[in-house]
């Protein structure tokens, strides 16, 4: 378990096929007809983008989504640059600075995707040239798309273009809204061609804005899928990884699995696959984790059950736990148990599981700094504060540190969505992100996932990181 991967994102690299796990909620997201996929940080948006790009993994995913076996995939935007396939953020900004609508930029991306370089006349010397061709040649563009669809129909094939990491296209919310809205308009345009599909992965805060306020957007909203992880999905993912561990470690873990489940995992083309009992909430899945962590989070039942505690204490303010946080906590707990409790009966000591939450919180805070630098900046003045507390107490610390207002905490990245509404707007943004929880009496609380890493205290809770 110490060698357990702690990421569900490969930043463009092809994921290890042994570690690919498809929760039921994600099956819908992978279907071609799901044009709009929404998810929080760490739930698998970039992971599935990289997996869909791989022909080998599409064949594996074809066991769940049959049409993927007959689909060719192109990336239309992602973290990893590919200037021939799509403009990077600098080029995108230059094009829009020249008053070129994002709609035409995205249609240029589609034109390059569908054009056969040896046959079509779509210019590729620069993105401005491709955009100019799209704007000046509406009929050739329509014929290009129609011809590509006809070729797919004749070969009984599909083509899919995937868009991810759209927050990297701009540091301004209004510009971002325009870019995403125009992309969704292009996706709607392609829906007229059943063999040509587009899939857009969006952060929740991007989707919550006005990006779908255009005619017929309801046709896209009807295809929306959310990337969510139930607690039993996280435990299933954990055992998918453990059973596929290399060498003697994998053998040992598969033996534990076989004893708890009653049957050995099934090997399929070099990948160990789990039984259904290990993938869903069941007595056998609980027994699996108890074989690693014991029955209680202490010496008796009053402290809780590790199977439940390990997930619930990693949930955000909206009750959601990401696979990245869960795997990070389990790995850290395994390392801590090995170092501090080498003679303990189980692989995971209950005190080490608590320290694993601290480690996962620290990682989550770093990730938050990458996506939302303003959150990290606003949390620093709150360090040492004990929650729950009145929002007025929080707002006073913010006012002292940022007398110019919420926008001063953003730097050169996207600011809080509702910074124009003042500190109350920031509070609402943090609540939507799952960093804050508003209690019935109006006080602000924070889940351990963020509270520990940001250095806030709570009576009786997991100790914050100093």
- Convert the pLDDT of each residue in 205-241 to its tens digit: 888 887 888 889 999 999 999 999 999 999 999 999 9
**Interatomic CA distance for residues 317 and 308, integer angstroms:** 17
Q: How many CB atoms lie within 10 A of CB 114?
A: 24
Q: Grade residue 8 by pLDDT with cuts at 50, 70 and 90.
A: very low
Q: What is the pLDDT of residue 140?
A: 95
Evaluate if residue 108 carries a pLDDT over 70.
yes
Q: Record the tokens describing residue 134, joined without a space.
A: 């799209």
**Interatomic CA distance for residues 44 and 42, integer angstroms:** 6
CA nearest neighbour of 339 among 364, 359, 324: 359
- Convert the pLDDT of each residue in 22-69 to its tens digit: 998 899 999 999 999 999 888 999 999 999 999 999 999 998 899 999
Locus of tokens 């990730």: 367
Evaluate if residue 117 carries a pLDDT over 70.
no
- Convert the pLDDT of each residue in 432-448 to its tens digit: 999 999 999 999 999 99
Q: What is the pLDDT of residue 417?
A: 86
**Interatomic CA distance for residues 329 and 313, integer angstroms:** 10
- Convert the pLDDT of each residue in 373-402 to its tens digit: 899 999 999 999 999 999 999 999 999 999
**Interatomic CA distance for residues 249 and 237, integer angstroms:** 17
Q: What is the pLDDT of residue 11?
A: 57
Q: What is the pLDDT of residue 63?
A: 86
In 244-315, which ranges are continuous DSSP H helix? 247-261, 283-293, 306-312
Cβ–Cβ under 8 Å, residues 46 and 370: no
CA nearest neighbour of 436 among 302, 426, 109: 426
**Interatomic CA distance for residues 53 and 18, integer angstroms:** 17
Residue that wins the pLDDT comparison between 347 and 120: 347
Half-sphere exposure of 122 (CA within 13 A, CB side): 28
Distance of alpha carbon 334 from its chain centroid, rounded?
Answer: 25
Mean pLDDT across 65-92 = 94
Residue that wins the pLDDT comparison between 125 and 415: 125
Q: What is the pLDDT of residue 453?
A: 92
Domains of the chain: 24-226 (3.40.50), 231-368 (no CATH), 372-454 (1.10.10)
φ, ψ for residue 75 (rounded to 5)?
-90, 125
- What global pTM score does this model have? 0.88
Evaluate if residue 146 carries a pLDDT over 80.
yes
Q: What is the pLDDT of residue 205?
A: 84
Cβ–Cβ under 8 Å, residues 320 and 268: no
Weakest-pLDDT range from 149-153, 236-240, 347-351, 413-417: 413-417
**Interatomic CA distance for residues 162 and 182, integer angstroms:** 15
SS3 content of the chain, % helix, strand, coil (to 5): 55, 10, 40
User: Taking all residues of the chain, what is their mean pLDDT, rounded to a whole number?
Assistant: 91
**In the sheet where 71-77 sits, what is the strand order?**
71-77, 158-163, 196-203, 36-39, 225-226
- Convert the pLDDT of each residue in 327-369 to its tens digit: 999 999 999 999 999 999 999 999 999 999 999 999 888 888 8
Residues 6 or more apart whose Cβ sits within 8 Å of residue 112: 84, 85, 122, 124, 130
- Convert the pLDDT of each residue in 252-292 to its tens digit: 999 999 999 999 999 988 899 999 999 999 999 999 999 99
Q: What is the pLDDT of residue 6?
A: 52
Evaluate if residue 132 carries a pLDDT over 70.
yes
């Amino acid at each position: 378990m110490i060698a357990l991967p702690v990421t569900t994102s490969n930043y463009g690299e092809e994921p290890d096929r042994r570690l690919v796990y498809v929760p039921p909620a994600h099956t819908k997201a992978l279907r071609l007809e799901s044009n709009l996929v929404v998810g929080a940080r760490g739930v698998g948006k970039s992971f599935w983008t990289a997996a869909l790009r791989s022909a080998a993994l599409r064949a594996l995913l074809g066991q769940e989504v049959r049409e993927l076996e007959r689909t060719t995939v192109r990336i239309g935007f992602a973290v990893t640059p590919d200037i021939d396939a799509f403009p990077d953020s600098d080029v995108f900004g230059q094009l829009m600075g020249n008053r070129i609508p994002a709609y035409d930029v995205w249609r240029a991306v589609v034109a390059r995707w569908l054009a056969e370089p040896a046959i079509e006349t779509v210019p590729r010397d620069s993105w401005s040239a491709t955009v100019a061709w799209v704007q000046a040649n509406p009929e050739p563009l329509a014929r290009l798309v129609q011809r590509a669809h006809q070729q797919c129909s004749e070969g009984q094939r599909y083509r899919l273009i995937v868009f991810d990491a759209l927050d990297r296209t701009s540091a301004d919310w209004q510009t971002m809204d325009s870019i995403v809205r125009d992309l969704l308009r292009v996706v709607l345009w392609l829906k007229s061609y059943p063999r040509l599909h587009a899939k857009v992965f969006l952060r929740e805060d991007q989707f919550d804005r006005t990006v779908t306020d255009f005619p017929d957007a309801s046709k896209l909203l009807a295809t929306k899928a959310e990337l969510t992880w139930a607690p039993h999905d996280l435990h299933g993912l954990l055992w998918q990884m453990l059973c596929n561990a290399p060498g003697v470690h994998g053998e040992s873990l598969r033996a534990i699995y076989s004893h708890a489940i009653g049957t050995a995992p099934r090997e399929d083309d070099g990948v160990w696959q789990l039984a259904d009992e290990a993938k869903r909430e069941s007595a056998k899945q609980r027994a699996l984790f108890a074989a690693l962590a014991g029955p209680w989070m202490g010496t008796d039942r009053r402290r809780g059950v590790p199977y439940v505690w390990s997930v619930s204490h990693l949930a955000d303010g909206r009750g959601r736990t990401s696979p990245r946080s869960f795997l990070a906590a389990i790995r850290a707990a395994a390392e801590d148990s090995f170092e501090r409790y080498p003679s303990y009966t189980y692989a995971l000591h209950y005190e080490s599981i608590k320290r694993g939450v601290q480690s996962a919180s620290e990682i989550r805070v770093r990730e938050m700094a990458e996506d939302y630098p303003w959150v990290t900046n606003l949390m620093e003045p709150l360090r040492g504060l004990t929650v729950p507390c009145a929002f007025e107490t929080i707002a006073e610390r913010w006012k002292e540190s940022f007398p110019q207002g919420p926008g001063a905490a953003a730097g050169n990245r996207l600011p809080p969505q509702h910074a124009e509404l003042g500190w109350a707007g920031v509070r609402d943004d943090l609540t939507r992100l799952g960093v804050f929880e508003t209690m019935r009496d109006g006080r602000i609380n924070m889940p351990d996932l963020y509270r520990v890493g940001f250095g806030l205290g709570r009576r009786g809770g997991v100790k914050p990181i100093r």
